[in-house]
A and B are shown apart, each in its own frame.
Chain A
Amino acid sequence: MSIATRDTNELVIRSRGMAKNFGSVKAVQNLDLDIERGKIYGFLGPNGCGKTTSIRMLTGLLTPSEGQVDVLGMRLPEQASKLRYHIGYMTQVFSMYRDLTVRENLSFVAKIYGIHGTAQSTRIDELLQLYNLEELANHFAGLMSGGQRQRLALAAAVLHKPQLLFLDEPTSAVDPESRRDFWEKLFDLSEAGTTILVSTHYMDEAERCHALAILEHGIKRADGSPQALMEEMNAHVVELQSDNNRQVKQALISHPEVISAAQLGTRLRVLVDKTIEQPDTWLQNQLPSEDYRSLKRVRPSLEDVFVTCTGKGQG
């Protein structure tokens, strides 16, 4: 984890054609990933798009139906048992023991990783402090709130100081305040050199990642840094103000060039295909002028990227 290796953009995860079928269900199809060391990489997609299945294949818990997977230079699933010492995994479903206390849970995980004696108690105290769990040390994990459980699960996942951390929808059961704190912790870990792969269905979280992949029905629709994705997006974004949003929306989405029109309060956010060079004038031509009060082009957001590359917007 020296500076030198970080500069060379060494690949921590590399997959080619990774796929998983459950019977006739194609949970993940032909997934190519190149994830660099030290990055926070996101999997963005709705429920059932294959995020958990992908993470399980990358951790060696599931055997891919097809494709080649290398994680930390180890070939999966053959070298899965060797990989276990170097990765941490926070599962989507809370997987700590509910009838053990916070400290007992951490101590259990520590022993499993061969950390004992004073090294263990020092590390656990450090984690309890870092993740605000000191007062909860003797509480049963099963009786804690979503945010507290999440901090415990993260503490357990990083206990053995893994180089690579997998987080599966870590913030789905957590309030916005805790989510913000949680991301602070992730940036601290990333700063210290840990590579993080995090799955989410929240746009704002995805936007914090250094790079991300947008998944739909097990297929990667796009990947890259959030900025690049927004710049290279296949659509223009126009916002218009109108009094009868619903009617205008109905009128607009009947045009094949309009990818989507979403209501945001009194505004209507319209995505127009890139083939239209002047989307504002084009829209003005499509709509009678009394239908809207104002009309202007705006900067795209990650949500716009998501809409354009999934569902109707996709190729």
Chain B
Amino acid sequence: MNFYYRIQAIFYKELMQLKRDRMTFGMVVMIPLIQLLLFGFAINTNVRYIPVGLVDQSQTALSRILVQTVSATQVVSFKSQYATVPEAEQAIARQEVRAVLIIPEDVSQRLVRHGTVGLATPPATDEETSRPIAQWLTDGSDTMVASSIKSLRNMPLAELLSKPANRSIPTFEVTLLYNPEQRTVVNIVPGLVAVILTMTMIMFTSAAIVREREHGNLELLINTPLKSIELMLGKIIPYIFIGLIQVSLILCLGYFIFHVPLNGSLAALAAITLLFIAASLVLGLVISTIAKSQLQSMQMTVFVLLPSILLSGFMFPYEGMPKVAQSIAEALPATHFMRLIRGVVLRDVDISSMSFDLIWLAVFTVLGLMVAAFRFKKRLD
């Protein structure tokens, strides 16, 4: 019974302090809001309208139609024309444009012999006929820009001559499930839940014990019959509610602004989210028992936050990362939650089929709580 009252005492105190800390309270709402808008609008891996230049050495009607056809793909947008190739190269160096399309003098001849157009079926060994019709000079340093330009390599040219295409049959047919329109934001919004919870949950609790120490309250607390585990539980419970508020906020805004649907059940969502909130809060508590000052606790929060953003699969696919990065990712709660929440929100997955991630988070929480309670000594030395 006293156990319950003491947890309640800490819980209530934290709530009062939180209520009076306008700044923190504002952050509860502002962090998800701002981040969602920033990430939602800014991150887009389908790059469009890349500024490019043109060096037209043929100056024919055909070259002008070619430029129009390329523009119509919306991948690039022609910004300026250059007389010579060196001039164009300098423009790339100045970042005026990211790439330049060079149309050679003999573009018409190249086109009529071109395989995709179907006026001739020349043997593949014939050097003369297998030449591409024009060249892209691209700034390859940004791989995302470069691969978008590369995607133009096999652009169909049939319309160019208003002739029926001798289209080769693709080797594979690709059916895009869950995100057929290929909108990046669909993958970003559920991932953002993981990132924002990691950030705010760890941040709130990582300062929890340190703050008591810095304000001199700790000496009062440890002289009372309060037990470590009671202090730890009392400190995290209020933030569970805050975490739930944030998740609801992100998913609702994601739904209304970015049209990201919630395909899974609310119960499954609540279950995985609670588990992850608990794991993050506990991680914050452990940090709090290690840090000597609020500044240190902040630094340690960032130390956890960065890999959680970069390695958890939020920005880059987990499978594409090297083994070392994958092992680091596996140690982060955010990685496990990333899989779970994308599964529930996007694919309506049955969470019992993802029991590894669920169990991992549960074990992490329990162990973390024990470590935090153990590390928090009711002593000053």
Measured CB to CB, the closest approach of chain A to B2, in angstroms, equals 5
Q: Determine if A108 and B219 form an interchain contact, defined as CB atoms under 8 angstroms apart.
A: no
Contact B220 A96 (CB under 8 A): yes
Closest-CB distance, A100 to chain B (whole angstroms): 6
The secondary structure that dominates the B interface is: helix
Residues of A within 8 A of B215 (CB): 97-98
- Going nearest first, the 7 A-B pairs with the smallest beta carbon separation are A111-B9, A95-B220, A93-B216, A114-B2, A89-B223, A95-B216, A112-B224
- Point out the residues of chain B lying under 8 angstroms from A61, CB to CB: 219, 222-223, 379-380
Q: Are B17 and A108 in contact (CB under 8 A)?
A: no
Chain A: CB-nearest residue to B227: A81
* Sample of 15 A–B contacts (CB below 8 Å): A56-B380, A60-B379, A61-B379, A77-B379, A81-B225, A91-B220, A94-B216, A95-B216, A95-B217, A97-B215, A100-B17, A108-B9, A111-B6, A112-B224, A116-B5
A108 touches B13 (CB 8 A): yes
Task: Check B217–A84 contact: CB distance below 8 A.
Answer: no
Give Cα A50–Cα B166 distance, bound, in whole angstroms: 95
The answer, yes or no, to whether B381 is at the interface (CB within 8 Å) is: yes
Nearest to A166 among chain B residues (CB) is: B223
- Bound CA–CA A257/B16 (angstroms): 63
| Residue from B13, B217, B223 having most chain A Cβ neighbours under 10 A | B223
A95 touches which of B219, B225, B380 (Cβ 8 Å):
B219
Q: Which residue of A lies closest to B220 (CB)?
A: A95
Q: What separation, in Å, do the CA atoms of A108 and B20 have in the docked complex?
A: 16
* CB pair B13 A93 closer than 8 Å: no
Are B225 and A99 neighbours in the complex by a CB distance under 8 Å?
no
CA distance A80 to B6 in the complex (A): 18
Point out the residues of chain A lying under 8 angstroms from B225, CB to CB.
81, 84-85, 112-114
Q: Of A56, A97, A113, which contacts B224 at CB under 8 A?
A: A113
Number of interface residues of A (CB under 8 A): 31
CA–CA, A61 and B8, complex, Å: 24
A99, B2: Cβ atoms closer than 8 Å: no
Q: Which of A64-84 contact B (CB under 8 A)?
A: 77, 80-81, 84
Given A91-B216, A114-B2, also A104-B16 (CB < 8 A): yes
Taking CB atoms, residues of chain A closer than 8 Å to B379 are 60-63, 77
Chain B residues, CB < 8 A from A93 = 216, 219
- The residue in A61, A77, A87, A156 that gathers the most chain B C-beta atoms within 10 A of its C-beta is A61
A114 x B217 contact (CB < 8 A): no
Q: Main SS of the interface on chain A?
A: loop
A15 at the binding interface (Cβ < 8 Å): no
B268 to nearest A CB, angstroms? Answer: 36
Q: Are A114 and B216 in contact (CB under 8 A)?
A: no
A111-123 interface bits toward B, Cβ cutoff 8 Å, 1 = contact, 0 = none: 1111010000000
Neighbouring A residues of B216 by C-beta, 8 Å: 91, 93-95
Distance (whole angstroms) from the CB of A105 to the closest CB of chain B: 9
Q: Inside 8 A of B12's CB, which chain A residues have their CB? A: 108, 111
Q: Which of B326-381 contact A (CB under 8 A)?
A: 378-381
Chain A neighbourhood of B381, CB < 8 A: 62-63
Chain B 1-42 interface mask (CB, 8 Å, partner A; 1/0):
110011011001100110011000000000000000000000
Please, how many angstroms separate the alpha-carbon atoms of A58 and B9 in the complex? 27
Name the residue on A nearest B218 (C-beta): A95
- A sample of 4 more A-B contacts (CB under 8 A), given A89-B219, A95-B217, is A61-B219, A89-B223, A96-B220, A100-B13
Rounded to whole angstroms, the CA-CA distance of A116 and B8 in the bound complex is: 11
A59 in the interface (beta carbon within 8 A)? yes
CA distance A163 to B217 in the complex (A): 23
A81, B378: Cβ atoms under 8 Å? Answer: yes
Bound CA span A96–B224, Å = 13
Nearest opposing residue in chain A for B380, CB measure: A61
Please tell me if A109 contacts chain B, counting CB pairs below 8 Å: yes
